[in-house]
Chains A and B, each alone.
Chain A
């Protein structure tokens, strides 16, 4: 619901939830941005049978958590530290995605403003 409320501002910019960035990723940055690296490798993820939607950039921390759960089962509460790490990583990823969205929105607004100025 919160996302829905947030999309009110982006109606006229043709933006929706699952969009990929359309602008070049280095515009407006002083230093060069590098692509994120996937730390966990494919064989580890396949042998742990992690579902596809969880194989993102935080998957190595997830694997730590899963290993810790398996070791301590049924006293899973002992893995609270690993879970906290995973949640932190996911939150950072989420914030990064929010920032990308915001960046996209502002670049589109800027583009629209530049087009209006060039038309008038």
Chain B
């Protein structure tokens, strides 16, 4: 596992040479294929070395983060063409990937927190440095302060856990159980803000909309999953108290998911709609984790991976429109089927995966989460029916608004889809829909 860290650190000098934009992506592909060759097994941590290890949960998320970083480079060719500080962009991306890799692979709870916070810095730099509108400053502030406000109690909680347990290895957390309400709230609150849960989700539409395409991809793809990963690791300590208190969070997130899916109909910005739909998916994931079921944990893992690929793909599609029209508004992006018919197929494929149409991973995740939530209580049936129905409704709304109809008459010139963009979308869609054939290999992680 050290070899990957060394690979990433020694790719950093490569960023500063001229015209090495695609070489860095090549290195990341190499790292991806090397990482795929690691052997993993369920129930215990494998590939131990110094502080690193991986079990299936972290393995899948590291693979997802490397894949998303590769696709981030593929999506940001504009920076390279326009010569807009692509060196620093590559540096930022590599450092972010290092932080994410470390977050998922360390076994120590405090180191996990350290890298969890440091990935925020690089995301902030990405949003403020390469974003498009002046509102990105406020978006960065929101992102930083929401997460920091919630994660400082997490730090205190980790110190208390160390004080009681005297070791910080995640594997040994299952021998301990805490029954303090304040500790419970302080430790899971950070992850709930990151996930995000309903009332504390306000940073997400701002950050996702104002970020550049690479920032949106990494935010939707990985950063939300940091919260899920943290919850999945930390809940081992709080099983008993969780069984009593989780009802609050399940109720808030399910009702929030319903309200948010209604709010999607009122958005006029494509990226904002996709951001709200991310929150809806994540609300179901929170619900699934909080039920403390086997189905819930596995379903939330699958939905996290599926959602990472799908939302990231949709942000790529939004950017494809943005690069041509320089607007994300629904009033301007209309009638795209006349101008880019092949891209309309990709819009449809991505949106149908988003609404959990078969055979995508999202469907499998949604089925597992519906099973776990309904087993926990039958009354969640109402909210889950509404969430499923309205997901389909707003996805079709987005698709038909963008693709069909007249077309904005103020377009002066337009170029068709580039091969790079089709490759980008294919690399998003293929794992999402093909992985369902061998899902038993990586869905069962404990």
A and B touch in the complex (CB under 8 A): no
- Residues on A lying within 8 angstroms of B by beta carbon are none
